[in-house]
Amino acid sequence: MLRLTSISLFLLFITAATPVAAAADNVESYKFDIGAAIGMSGYLGDANESSLFKHPGFAGNIQGRYLFDSRWAIRAQLGMATISGNTAEFENVLPLGEQYSFKSTVTDLSVRGECNFFAYGIGETYKRLRRWSPFISVGLGASLSSSDGSGSYVAFSVPLGVGVRYKLSPRVNLLAEFTMTKVFGDKVDSYKLTDLYKIKSSFLKNTDWYSSLSVGITYEFGPRCTTCNRLD
């Protein structure tokens, strides 16, 4: 009797588990996702030369991606960050003993390519998809900064990112990302903070950086056609 009960329980388990496994293999994949992220910002430039998050600010973004496949995507992103600094904290003394401080809000628009280290997704076991994956991103954009008492400034920028994402469900993804943005200009902090050591800036030299460390969530939509049936 005990043996029959054990066999019955085993068969019941197999029967219950089979539809779940089949459903996992039949999970749809999607072509697009949208989402948002928030976190803290940092700054490196004339008023902060070494400690990236010495004066942390707020960072946030909204983003949309086109998913080529389980590894590659292209992302459009609109972001915002607040940055600040104070030369009074320097060990070095500026010419004439001058001191400067600033607060700026930076808004950027960028397009980035993304690459997952692993094939990312749920289901389709023949593809060996993983529910989580590290990723890297690089892109090109423009940054608009508005500083207290110094007007606005626009410059080209290159965002470089590294992060990890986790698929909470077939459509919902969680992510954490660190991004450093190189600005090809020296006035993102302020027009006042330019060539403080009387060393002339150039397109690559003595320019500003800002960063973000953020967590976010995205939602996938637009089912991808996985099977095509001919209709006569």
User: Given pLDDT bands bounded at 50, 70 and 90, which one contains residue 38?
Assistant: very high
Task: Say how far apart CA 184 and CA 196 lie, in whole Å.
Answer: 17
Domain of 122?
30-223
Answer whether residue 15 is part of any domain.
no
Q: CATH number for the domain including 66?
A: 2.40.160.20
- Kindly tell me the burial class for residue 11, based on how many C-beta atoms sit within 10 Å of its own C-beta (0-12, 13-18, 19 or more): exposed
Answer whether residue 231 is part of any domain.
no
Answer whether residue 18 is part of any domain.
no
Answer whether residue 17 is part of any domain.
no
User: Given pLDDT bands bounded at 50, 70 and 90, which one contains residue 111?
Assistant: very high
- The pTM assigned to this predicted structure is 0.79
Answer whether residue 5 is part of any domain.
no
Answer whether residue 109 is part of any domain.
yes
Q: Which of 16-20, 29-33, 153-157, 212-216 has the lowest mean pLDDT?
A: 16-20
Distant-in-sequence contacts of 121-130, Cβ < 8 A, 24+ apart: 121/27, 121/29, 121/70, 121/167, 122/24, 122/27, 122/167, 122/169, 122/170, 123/24, 123/25, 123/26, 123/27, 123/29, 123/170, 124/25, 124/27, 124/29, 125/24, 125/25, 127/70, 129/70
Query: Number of structural domains, the chain?
Result: 1
Answer whether residue 209 is part of any domain.
yes
Task: Say how far apart CA 160 and CA 157 lie, in whole Å.
Answer: 10
Answer whether residue 230 is part of any domain.
no
For residues 182-207, give the mean pLDDT.
65
